[in-house]
Amino acid sequence: MQQHNVLILDFGSQYTQLIARRVRELNIYCEIYPYNKIPQDIQKFKAVILSGSPSSVRSDEAPHPDLSDIRAKKPLLAVCYGAQYLAHFSGGLVAPSNTREYGRANLSFIKKDEAFFKNISEGSQVWMSHSDTIKELPTNAIHLASTHDVFNAAYKIEGEDTYAIQFHPEVYHTTDGKQLLQNFLVDIAGVEQNFTPNSFAKTTITDLKEQLKDDKVVLGLSGGVDSTVAAVLLHKAIGKNLHCIFVNNGLLRKDEFSSVLKQYEGMGLNVKGVDASARFLDALKGLTGPEAKRKAIGRVFIEVFDDEAHQIENAKWLAQGTIYPDVIESVSVNGGPSATIKSHHNVGGLPDFMKLKIVEPLRMIFKDEVRRVGASLGIDKELLGRHPFPGPGLGIRILGDITSEKVRILQEVDAIFINGLKEDNLYDRVWQAGAMLLPVNSVGVMGDERTYEKVVALRAVESTDGMTADWVDLPYKFLQKVSNKIINNVKGVNRVVYDISSKPPATIEWE
Protein backbone atom coordinates (compact mmCIF):
# COMPACT_ATOMS: atom_id res chain seq x y z
CA MET A 1 0.00 0.00 0.00
CA GLN A 2 1.09 3.57 -0.64
CA GLN A 3 1.70 5.58 2.50
CA HIS A 4 -1.55 7.30 3.37
CA ASN A 5 -0.03 10.70 4.27
CA VAL A 6 -2.82 13.15 3.28
CA LEU A 7 -6.58 12.68 3.01
CA ILE A 8 -8.57 15.11 0.84
CA LEU A 9 -12.30 15.12 1.56
CA ASP A 10 -14.27 16.01 -1.56
CA PHE A 11 -17.35 18.20 -1.16
CA GLY A 12 -18.02 18.25 -4.91
CA SER A 13 -15.68 21.00 -6.10
CA GLN A 14 -14.31 20.75 -9.64
CA TYR A 15 -11.03 22.00 -8.10
CA THR A 16 -10.64 18.99 -5.78
CA GLN A 17 -8.35 17.11 -8.17
CA LEU A 18 -6.16 20.22 -8.40
CA ILE A 19 -5.60 20.05 -4.64
CA ALA A 20 -4.28 16.52 -5.17
CA ARG A 21 -2.05 17.71 -8.00
CA ARG A 22 -0.55 20.47 -5.88
CA VAL A 23 0.06 18.13 -2.93
CA ARG A 24 1.71 15.54 -5.20
CA GLU A 25 4.02 18.28 -6.55
CA LEU A 26 5.42 18.46 -3.02
CA ASN A 27 6.32 14.73 -3.25
CA ILE A 28 3.55 13.98 -0.77
CA TYR A 29 1.08 11.16 -1.45
CA CYS A 30 -2.59 11.99 -1.06
CA GLU A 31 -5.96 10.42 -1.80
CA ILE A 32 -9.39 11.90 -2.47
CA TYR A 33 -12.45 10.48 -0.71
CA PRO A 34 -16.04 11.74 -0.63
CA TYR A 35 -16.98 13.71 2.47
CA ASN A 36 -19.56 11.07 3.41
CA LYS A 37 -17.22 8.07 3.05
CA ILE A 38 -14.35 8.88 5.37
CA PRO A 39 -11.90 5.91 5.39
CA GLN A 40 -12.10 3.49 8.30
CA ASP A 41 -8.33 3.69 8.78
CA ILE A 42 -8.39 7.45 9.29
CA GLN A 43 -5.72 7.13 11.98
CA LYS A 44 -3.15 6.27 9.27
CA PHE A 45 -3.46 9.67 7.59
CA LYS A 46 -1.13 12.39 8.82
CA ALA A 47 -3.20 15.40 7.69
CA VAL A 48 -6.62 16.20 6.21
CA ILE A 49 -7.76 18.81 3.67
CA LEU A 50 -11.41 19.81 3.18
CA SER A 51 -12.22 20.85 -0.42
CA GLY A 52 -14.49 23.56 -1.75
CA SER A 53 -18.04 22.86 -2.91
CA PRO A 54 -20.77 24.29 -5.17
CA SER A 55 -23.11 23.99 -2.15
CA SER A 56 -23.88 26.61 0.49
CA VAL A 57 -23.36 25.63 4.13
CA ARG A 58 -26.66 27.42 4.83
CA SER A 59 -28.60 24.90 2.71
CA ASP A 60 -30.34 21.92 4.30
CA GLU A 61 -28.88 19.75 1.51
CA ALA A 62 -25.32 20.92 2.10
CA PRO A 63 -22.61 18.29 2.77
CA HIS A 64 -22.38 17.71 6.52
CA PRO A 65 -19.60 15.25 7.41
CA ASP A 66 -18.80 13.79 10.80
CA LEU A 67 -15.36 15.24 11.60
CA SER A 68 -15.19 13.87 15.16
CA ASP A 69 -12.25 11.59 14.28
CA ILE A 70 -10.42 14.44 12.54
CA ARG A 71 -11.03 17.77 14.24
CA ALA A 72 -8.34 18.52 16.88
CA LYS A 73 -6.93 15.01 16.32
CA LYS A 74 -5.32 15.58 12.91
CA PRO A 75 -3.79 18.68 11.31
CA LEU A 76 -6.70 20.06 9.27
CA LEU A 77 -6.79 22.56 6.41
CA ALA A 78 -10.26 23.76 5.37
CA VAL A 79 -10.50 25.35 1.91
CA CYS A 80 -13.37 27.69 0.86
CA TYR A 81 -16.52 25.65 1.61
CA GLY A 82 -14.49 23.82 4.26
CA ALA A 83 -13.64 27.12 5.95
CA GLN A 84 -17.29 28.18 5.86
CA TYR A 85 -18.36 24.76 7.17
CA LEU A 86 -16.11 25.04 10.23
CA ALA A 87 -17.38 28.55 10.89
CA HIS A 88 -21.07 27.75 10.39
CA PHE A 89 -21.13 24.69 12.65
CA SER A 90 -18.66 25.93 15.30
CA GLY A 91 -20.12 29.19 16.55
CA GLY A 92 -19.38 31.48 13.61
CA LEU A 93 -21.66 33.15 11.08
CA VAL A 94 -21.81 32.56 7.31
CA ALA A 95 -24.05 34.80 5.21
CA PRO A 96 -24.65 35.58 1.54
CA SER A 97 -22.05 37.96 0.14
CA ASN A 98 -23.28 41.31 -1.20
CA THR A 99 -21.36 40.59 -4.38
CA ARG A 100 -20.12 37.28 -5.74
CA GLU A 101 -16.51 36.99 -4.65
CA TYR A 102 -14.89 35.41 -7.69
CA GLY A 103 -11.49 35.79 -9.33
CA ARG A 104 -8.17 37.34 -8.42
CA ALA A 105 -7.64 39.14 -5.11
CA ASN A 106 -4.63 40.20 -3.07
CA LEU A 107 -3.85 39.60 0.59
CA SER A 108 -4.03 43.05 2.22
CA PHE A 109 -3.24 41.74 5.72
CA ILE A 110 -1.30 38.73 7.04
CA LYS A 111 -0.73 38.00 10.72
CA LYS A 112 2.96 38.52 11.29
CA ASP A 113 5.19 35.64 12.47
CA GLU A 114 2.54 33.04 11.57
CA ALA A 115 4.09 29.74 10.36
CA PHE A 116 1.13 29.19 8.03
CA PHE A 117 2.20 32.21 5.95
CA LYS A 118 5.97 31.64 6.02
CA ASN A 119 7.64 33.11 2.88
CA ILE A 120 4.32 34.69 1.83
CA SER A 121 3.92 38.46 2.00
CA GLU A 122 1.11 40.98 1.95
CA GLY A 123 0.02 41.69 -1.62
CA SER A 124 0.29 38.03 -2.63
CA GLN A 125 -2.35 37.12 -5.23
CA VAL A 126 -5.05 34.57 -4.35
CA TRP A 127 -8.08 33.14 -6.17
CA MET A 128 -11.59 33.45 -4.76
CA SER A 129 -14.64 31.44 -5.85
CA HIS A 130 -17.63 31.69 -3.51
CA SER A 131 -20.99 33.41 -3.07
CA ASP A 132 -21.21 33.16 0.75
CA THR A 133 -18.85 34.92 3.11
CA ILE A 134 -17.71 34.37 6.71
CA LYS A 135 -19.12 37.25 8.77
CA GLU A 136 -18.05 35.95 12.19
CA LEU A 137 -15.27 33.47 12.97
CA PRO A 138 -15.97 30.24 14.89
CA THR A 139 -15.31 29.82 18.61
CA ASN A 140 -11.63 30.12 19.60
CA ALA A 141 -10.63 31.28 16.11
CA ILE A 142 -7.70 33.62 15.48
CA HIS A 143 -7.89 35.91 12.44
CA LEU A 144 -4.89 35.36 10.11
CA ALA A 145 -5.48 37.18 6.82
CA SER A 146 -7.70 39.54 4.81
CA THR A 147 -8.15 40.81 1.26
CA HIS A 148 -9.68 44.14 0.29
CA ASP A 149 -13.17 42.59 -0.04
CA VAL A 150 -12.93 39.57 2.29
CA PHE A 151 -11.97 40.36 5.88
CA ASN A 152 -11.96 36.73 7.10
CA ALA A 153 -9.77 35.30 4.34
CA ALA A 154 -7.90 32.97 6.71
CA TYR A 155 -8.07 31.86 10.34
CA LYS A 156 -6.85 29.16 12.71
CA ILE A 157 -8.38 27.52 15.78
CA GLU A 158 -6.50 28.14 19.01
CA GLY A 159 -5.20 24.94 20.62
CA GLU A 160 -5.59 22.90 17.39
CA ASP A 161 -3.61 22.45 14.16
CA THR A 162 -6.76 23.55 12.34
CA TYR A 163 -6.42 26.20 9.62
CA ALA A 164 -9.03 27.60 7.26
CA ILE A 165 -8.79 29.75 4.13
CA GLN A 166 -11.51 31.34 2.01
CA PHE A 167 -9.35 31.27 -1.17
CA HIS A 168 -8.12 28.34 -3.30
CA PRO A 169 -4.39 27.53 -2.94
CA GLU A 170 -4.68 24.73 -5.52
CA VAL A 171 -5.51 27.07 -8.42
CA TYR A 172 -2.51 28.43 -10.30
CA HIS A 173 -3.84 32.00 -9.99
CA THR A 174 -2.97 31.76 -6.28
CA THR A 175 0.70 32.54 -6.82
CA ASP A 176 1.92 31.27 -3.44
CA GLY A 177 -0.53 28.37 -3.19
CA LYS A 178 2.16 25.70 -3.32
CA GLN A 179 4.18 27.49 -0.63
CA LEU A 180 1.14 27.70 1.62
CA LEU A 181 0.40 23.98 1.21
CA GLN A 182 4.02 23.23 2.01
CA ASN A 183 3.86 25.40 5.12
CA PHE A 184 0.82 23.51 6.34
CA LEU A 185 1.73 19.97 5.32
CA VAL A 186 5.48 19.95 5.94
CA ASP A 187 6.12 22.56 8.65
CA ILE A 188 2.89 22.32 10.66
CA ALA A 189 1.63 18.77 10.01
CA GLY A 190 5.10 17.20 9.71
CA VAL A 191 4.27 15.14 6.61
CA GLU A 192 7.32 13.59 4.95
CA GLN A 193 8.07 14.42 1.31
CA ASN A 194 8.87 10.85 0.28
CA PHE A 195 6.46 10.17 -2.61
CA THR A 196 8.93 9.85 -5.51
CA PRO A 197 8.87 7.90 -8.81
CA ASN A 198 11.33 5.37 -7.39
CA SER A 199 9.33 4.88 -4.19
CA PHE A 200 6.09 4.49 -6.15
CA ALA A 201 7.63 1.89 -8.49
CA LYS A 202 9.20 -0.07 -5.64
CA THR A 203 6.01 -0.07 -3.53
CA THR A 204 3.76 -0.89 -6.50
CA ILE A 205 5.88 -3.84 -7.63
CA THR A 206 5.88 -5.21 -4.07
CA ASP A 207 2.09 -4.76 -3.82
CA LEU A 208 1.52 -6.44 -7.22
CA LYS A 209 3.61 -9.45 -6.18
CA GLU A 210 1.54 -9.81 -3.03
CA GLN A 211 -1.79 -9.25 -4.80
CA LEU A 212 -1.22 -11.44 -7.87
CA LYS A 213 1.12 -14.15 -6.52
CA ASP A 214 1.33 -16.85 -9.27
CA ASP A 215 -1.83 -15.76 -11.11
CA LYS A 216 -1.80 -15.04 -14.83
CA VAL A 217 -2.67 -11.51 -15.95
CA VAL A 218 -3.96 -10.25 -19.31
CA LEU A 219 -3.02 -6.65 -20.15
CA GLY A 220 -4.33 -4.47 -22.94
CA LEU A 221 -1.42 -2.61 -24.50
CA SER A 222 -2.17 0.49 -26.56
CA GLY A 223 1.33 1.68 -27.41
CA GLY A 224 0.81 4.68 -25.16
CA VAL A 225 2.63 5.75 -22.02
CA ASP A 226 0.07 4.51 -19.47
CA SER A 227 -0.33 0.93 -20.64
CA THR A 228 3.41 0.62 -21.30
CA VAL A 229 4.40 1.75 -17.80
CA ALA A 230 1.70 -0.51 -16.32
CA ALA A 231 3.09 -3.43 -18.37
CA VAL A 232 6.67 -2.89 -17.20
CA LEU A 233 5.58 -2.65 -13.55
CA LEU A 234 3.59 -5.88 -13.91
CA HIS A 235 6.41 -7.60 -15.80
CA LYS A 236 8.85 -6.77 -12.99
CA ALA A 237 6.33 -8.17 -10.49
CA ILE A 238 5.15 -11.38 -12.19
CA GLY A 239 7.37 -11.90 -15.25
CA LYS A 240 6.14 -14.56 -17.70
CA ASN A 241 2.70 -14.65 -16.07
CA LEU A 242 1.90 -11.34 -17.79
CA HIS A 243 0.24 -11.78 -21.20
CA CYS A 244 -0.01 -8.54 -23.18
CA ILE A 245 -2.54 -8.09 -25.96
CA PHE A 246 -2.59 -5.23 -28.43
CA VAL A 247 -5.95 -4.90 -30.17
CA ASN A 248 -6.45 -3.20 -33.51
CA ASN A 249 -9.90 -1.64 -33.07
CA GLY A 250 -9.82 -0.16 -36.56
CA LEU A 251 -9.63 3.31 -35.02
CA LEU A 252 -5.88 3.59 -34.53
CA ARG A 253 -3.56 6.06 -36.22
CA LYS A 254 -2.18 5.23 -39.65
CA ASP A 255 0.03 2.08 -39.58
CA GLU A 256 -0.09 2.11 -35.77
CA PHE A 257 -0.93 -1.56 -35.35
CA SER A 258 2.30 -2.76 -36.96
CA SER A 259 4.51 0.03 -35.58
CA VAL A 260 3.35 -0.50 -31.99
CA LEU A 261 3.98 -4.25 -32.15
CA LYS A 262 7.47 -3.52 -33.44
CA GLN A 263 7.97 -0.97 -30.67
CA TYR A 264 7.61 -3.64 -28.00
CA GLU A 265 10.13 -6.00 -29.57
CA GLY A 266 13.17 -6.19 -27.33
CA MET A 267 11.37 -4.99 -24.18
CA GLY A 268 10.98 -8.54 -22.92
CA LEU A 269 7.19 -8.33 -22.90
CA ASN A 270 5.01 -11.19 -24.12
CA VAL A 271 2.81 -9.34 -26.66
CA LYS A 272 0.15 -10.70 -29.02
CA GLY A 273 -1.46 -8.58 -31.74
CA VAL A 274 -5.19 -9.07 -32.42
CA ASP A 275 -6.84 -7.46 -35.45
CA ALA A 276 -10.49 -6.92 -34.45
CA SER A 277 -11.07 -3.83 -36.61
CA ALA A 278 -14.04 -5.32 -38.51
CA ARG A 279 -15.72 -6.29 -35.23
CA PHE A 280 -15.45 -2.75 -33.83
CA LEU A 281 -16.62 -1.07 -37.03
CA ASP A 282 -19.65 -3.39 -37.19
CA ALA A 283 -20.59 -2.50 -33.61
CA LEU A 284 -20.30 1.22 -34.41
CA LYS A 285 -22.43 1.10 -37.55
CA GLY A 286 -25.18 3.72 -37.41
CA LEU A 287 -24.17 5.13 -34.00
CA THR A 288 -23.79 8.91 -33.84
CA GLY A 289 -23.91 9.90 -30.15
CA PRO A 290 -20.56 10.29 -28.33
CA GLU A 291 -21.57 8.23 -25.31
CA ALA A 292 -23.17 5.52 -27.46
CA LYS A 293 -19.95 5.21 -29.44
CA ARG A 294 -17.77 5.16 -26.32
CA LYS A 295 -19.93 2.46 -24.76
CA ALA A 296 -19.93 0.34 -27.95
CA ILE A 297 -16.14 0.57 -28.19
CA GLY A 298 -15.83 -0.31 -24.50
CA ARG A 299 -18.19 -3.28 -24.86
CA VAL A 300 -16.35 -4.78 -27.84
CA PHE A 301 -13.01 -4.05 -26.18
CA ILE A 302 -14.12 -6.19 -23.22
CA GLU A 303 -15.56 -8.91 -25.49
CA VAL A 304 -12.32 -9.19 -27.46
CA PHE A 305 -10.37 -9.46 -24.24
CA ASP A 306 -12.73 -12.09 -22.95
CA ASP A 307 -12.15 -14.13 -26.12
CA GLU A 308 -8.38 -13.77 -25.84
CA ALA A 309 -8.34 -14.43 -22.11
CA HIS A 310 -10.09 -17.76 -22.67
CA GLN A 311 -7.11 -18.81 -24.78
CA ILE A 312 -4.76 -18.19 -21.84
CA GLU A 313 -5.15 -21.05 -19.41
CA ASN A 314 -6.06 -19.97 -15.88
CA ALA A 315 -5.93 -16.21 -16.61
CA LYS A 316 -7.48 -14.51 -13.59
CA TRP A 317 -6.80 -10.78 -13.97
CA LEU A 318 -7.30 -8.03 -16.55
CA ALA A 319 -4.73 -5.24 -16.15
CA GLN A 320 -5.41 -1.74 -17.43
CA GLY A 321 -3.46 1.50 -17.69
CA THR A 322 -6.20 3.53 -16.01
CA ILE A 323 -4.86 6.73 -14.42
CA TYR A 324 -6.34 9.16 -11.91
CA PRO A 325 -7.85 11.70 -14.38
CA ASP A 326 -9.72 8.82 -16.10
CA VAL A 327 -11.27 7.91 -12.76
CA ILE A 328 -12.07 11.48 -11.80
CA GLU A 329 -13.73 12.31 -15.14
CA SER A 330 -15.70 9.08 -15.44
CA VAL A 331 -17.15 8.78 -11.97
CA SER A 332 -17.14 10.81 -8.81
CA VAL A 333 -13.93 9.71 -7.13
CA ASN A 334 -14.62 6.72 -4.87
CA GLY A 335 -18.35 7.42 -5.28
CA GLY A 336 -18.06 11.07 -4.32
CA PRO A 337 -20.06 14.16 -5.23
CA SER A 338 -17.99 15.70 -8.05
CA ALA A 339 -19.78 15.99 -11.39
CA THR A 340 -19.20 13.32 -14.05
CA ILE A 341 -17.66 14.82 -17.21
CA LYS A 342 -17.64 11.81 -19.55
CA SER A 343 -17.21 8.05 -19.39
CA HIS A 344 -13.88 6.42 -20.21
CA HIS A 345 -13.82 3.06 -21.98
CA ASN A 346 -11.53 1.49 -19.38
CA VAL A 347 -13.25 2.71 -16.20
CA GLY A 348 -16.24 1.36 -14.36
CA GLY A 349 -15.77 -2.36 -13.85
CA LEU A 350 -16.42 -5.46 -15.93
CA PRO A 351 -19.67 -7.10 -17.04
CA ASP A 352 -20.90 -10.13 -15.10
CA PHE A 353 -20.04 -12.60 -17.86
CA MET A 354 -16.36 -11.73 -17.66
CA LYS A 355 -14.72 -13.62 -14.83
CA LEU A 356 -11.45 -11.67 -14.74
CA LYS A 357 -10.65 -9.39 -11.82
CA ILE A 358 -9.24 -5.92 -12.55
CA VAL A 359 -5.76 -4.73 -11.56
CA GLU A 360 -4.81 -1.09 -12.24
CA PRO A 361 -1.26 -0.25 -11.09
CA LEU A 362 -1.52 3.44 -12.12
CA ARG A 363 -5.06 4.17 -10.98
CA MET A 364 -4.03 6.70 -8.33
CA ILE A 365 -1.41 8.76 -10.21
CA PHE A 366 -1.49 11.51 -12.82
CA LYS A 367 -0.05 11.49 -16.36
CA ASP A 368 3.11 13.47 -15.53
CA GLU A 369 3.71 11.13 -12.59
CA VAL A 370 3.31 8.11 -14.91
CA ARG A 371 6.05 9.52 -17.16
CA ARG A 372 8.39 10.06 -14.22
CA VAL A 373 7.74 6.51 -12.97
CA GLY A 374 8.45 5.23 -16.50
CA ALA A 375 11.76 7.09 -16.58
CA SER A 376 12.72 5.57 -13.22
CA LEU A 377 12.03 2.12 -14.77
CA GLY A 378 14.38 2.86 -17.68
CA ILE A 379 11.70 3.01 -20.39
CA ASP A 380 12.81 4.67 -23.63
CA LYS A 381 12.54 8.48 -23.54
CA GLU A 382 10.90 8.69 -26.96
CA LEU A 383 8.15 6.28 -25.91
CA LEU A 384 7.54 8.21 -22.67
CA GLY A 385 7.31 11.46 -24.62
CA ARG A 386 4.58 10.13 -26.90
CA HIS A 387 1.40 12.21 -26.92
CA PRO A 388 -1.65 10.74 -25.16
CA PHE A 389 -4.14 9.05 -27.49
CA PRO A 390 -7.73 8.35 -26.39
CA GLY A 391 -8.71 4.75 -25.72
CA PRO A 392 -11.64 4.93 -28.18
CA GLY A 393 -9.15 6.25 -30.72
CA LEU A 394 -10.42 8.01 -33.82
CA GLY A 395 -13.95 6.89 -32.87
CA ILE A 396 -14.34 10.04 -30.78
CA ARG A 397 -12.56 12.21 -33.34
CA ILE A 398 -15.02 11.36 -36.09
CA LEU A 399 -18.13 13.34 -35.21
CA GLY A 400 -21.30 11.55 -36.20
CA ASP A 401 -21.41 8.03 -37.64
CA ILE A 402 -18.25 6.06 -38.32
CA THR A 403 -17.37 4.34 -41.61
CA SER A 404 -14.17 2.78 -42.88
CA GLU A 405 -13.87 5.60 -45.44
CA LYS A 406 -14.08 8.26 -42.72
CA VAL A 407 -11.45 6.40 -40.71
CA ARG A 408 -9.17 6.34 -43.78
CA ILE A 409 -9.60 10.09 -44.31
CA LEU A 410 -8.85 10.94 -40.69
CA GLN A 411 -5.86 8.60 -40.50
CA GLU A 412 -4.30 10.36 -43.49
CA VAL A 413 -5.00 13.81 -42.05
CA ASP A 414 -3.70 12.86 -38.60
CA ALA A 415 -0.48 11.39 -40.05
CA ILE A 416 0.28 14.59 -41.96
CA PHE A 417 -0.36 16.73 -38.87
CA ILE A 418 1.64 14.61 -36.39
CA ASN A 419 4.54 14.02 -38.77
CA GLY A 420 4.56 17.75 -39.55
CA LEU A 421 4.89 18.57 -35.84
CA LYS A 422 7.86 16.20 -35.60
CA GLU A 423 9.54 17.52 -38.75
CA ASP A 424 9.31 21.12 -37.53
CA ASN A 425 10.48 20.24 -33.97
CA LEU A 426 7.12 21.24 -32.53
CA TYR A 427 6.03 17.81 -31.27
CA ASP A 428 7.60 18.18 -27.81
CA ARG A 429 6.05 21.64 -27.37
CA VAL A 430 2.64 19.99 -27.53
CA TRP A 431 1.08 17.76 -24.83
CA GLN A 432 -1.54 16.23 -27.15
CA ALA A 433 -2.43 16.77 -30.78
CA GLY A 434 -4.84 15.27 -33.26
CA ALA A 435 -7.40 15.93 -35.96
CA MET A 436 -11.19 15.82 -35.86
CA LEU A 437 -13.38 14.92 -38.84
CA LEU A 438 -16.45 17.13 -38.70
CA PRO A 439 -19.95 16.14 -39.91
CA VAL A 440 -19.84 19.14 -42.22
CA ASN A 441 -19.24 19.50 -45.95
CA SER A 442 -18.07 22.81 -47.37
CA VAL A 443 -17.84 24.25 -50.85
CA GLY A 444 -14.37 24.55 -52.32
CA VAL A 445 -12.60 25.04 -55.62
CA MET A 446 -9.83 22.76 -56.89
CA GLY A 447 -8.52 23.68 -60.30
CA ASP A 448 -11.59 24.79 -62.21
CA GLU A 449 -13.90 22.38 -60.43
CA ARG A 450 -16.30 22.99 -57.58
CA THR A 451 -15.89 20.60 -54.64
CA TYR A 452 -18.19 19.77 -51.74
CA GLU A 453 -16.07 17.86 -49.26
CA LYS A 454 -15.26 17.31 -45.59
CA VAL A 455 -13.92 19.79 -43.02
CA VAL A 456 -11.23 18.74 -40.54
CA ALA A 457 -10.24 20.54 -37.34
CA LEU A 458 -6.70 20.36 -36.00
CA ARG A 459 -6.24 20.40 -32.23
CA ALA A 460 -3.01 20.90 -30.22
CA VAL A 461 -2.93 21.60 -26.49
CA GLU A 462 -0.40 22.10 -23.72
CA SER A 463 -1.09 20.61 -20.30
CA THR A 464 0.47 18.86 -17.32
CA ASP A 465 -2.02 16.07 -16.76
CA GLY A 466 -5.05 16.69 -19.00
CA MET A 467 -7.22 18.03 -16.17
CA THR A 468 -6.83 21.52 -17.62
CA ALA A 469 -5.33 22.47 -20.98
CA ASP A 470 -4.65 25.47 -23.19
CA TRP A 471 -4.42 25.56 -26.98
CA VAL A 472 -0.94 25.84 -28.46
CA ASP A 473 -0.12 28.91 -30.53
CA LEU A 474 1.41 27.02 -33.46
CA PRO A 475 3.20 29.18 -36.06
CA TYR A 476 0.97 30.39 -38.90
CA LYS A 477 3.50 29.20 -41.48
CA PHE A 478 3.37 25.70 -40.03
CA LEU A 479 -0.44 25.64 -40.04
CA GLN A 480 -0.46 26.96 -43.60
CA LYS A 481 1.98 24.24 -44.74
CA VAL A 482 0.05 21.45 -43.01
CA SER A 483 -3.30 22.71 -44.31
CA ASN A 484 -2.02 22.81 -47.89
CA LYS A 485 -0.54 19.33 -47.58
CA ILE A 486 -3.78 17.88 -46.17
CA ILE A 487 -6.01 19.44 -48.83
CA ASN A 488 -3.65 18.46 -51.66
CA ASN A 489 -3.07 14.88 -50.49
CA VAL A 490 -6.18 13.66 -48.70
CA LYS A 491 -9.04 12.93 -51.04
CA GLY A 492 -12.34 14.00 -49.47
CA VAL A 493 -11.09 17.06 -47.53
CA ASN A 494 -11.19 20.62 -48.85
CA ARG A 495 -11.07 22.74 -45.67
CA VAL A 496 -8.88 22.78 -42.53
CA VAL A 497 -9.59 24.77 -39.35
CA TYR A 498 -7.62 25.13 -36.09
CA ASP A 499 -9.25 24.76 -32.66
CA ILE A 500 -8.30 27.56 -30.22
CA SER A 501 -10.46 26.46 -27.26
CA SER A 502 -9.06 25.83 -23.79
CA LYS A 503 -10.13 23.23 -21.22
CA PRO A 504 -12.29 24.29 -19.46
CA PRO A 505 -14.76 25.20 -20.88
CA ALA A 506 -14.05 22.82 -23.80
CA THR A 507 -12.60 19.33 -23.41
CA ILE A 508 -9.46 18.20 -25.23
CA GLU A 509 -11.38 15.76 -27.42
CA TRP A 510 -14.49 16.89 -29.26
CA GLU A 511 -16.52 13.91 -28.06
Give strand ranges (E) for 80-124: 93-110
Q: Which residues are catalytic?
A: 80, 168, 170
Mean pLDDT by 10 residues, the chain (511 residues): 79 87 93 88 93 89 89 95 94 82 88 93 90 92 94 96 95 92 97 93 96 93 90 96 94 92 84 95 94 92 84 89 73 46 46 75 90 94 87 93 96 98 96 96 78 94 84 97 96 96 91 89
Go through 177-199 and write b for each residue having 16 or more CB atoms within 10 A of its CB, e for each that does not: bbbbbbbbbbebbebeeebebeb
Contact criterion met (CB below 8 Å) for 167 and 80:
yes
The CA distance from 236 to 115, in Å, is 44
- Bridge partner list, 449: 446
The CA distance from 401 to 387, in Å, is 26
- Bridge partner list, 136: 93
Is 0.85 surpassed by the pTM of this model? no
Q: Side chain identity at 54, as an amino acid letter?
A: P
- Bridge partner list, 132: 96
N- to C-terminal Cα distance for the chain?
A: 35
CA–CA distance from 285 to each of 118, 172, 403, 454 (Å)? 60, 43, 7, 19
Residue 496 parent element (H or E)? strand 493-498
Identify the pLDDT of residue 331: 44
Identify the pLDDT of residue 150: 92
Contact criterion met (CB below 8 Å) for 80 and 129:
yes
| Cis previous bond, 290, omega within 30 | no
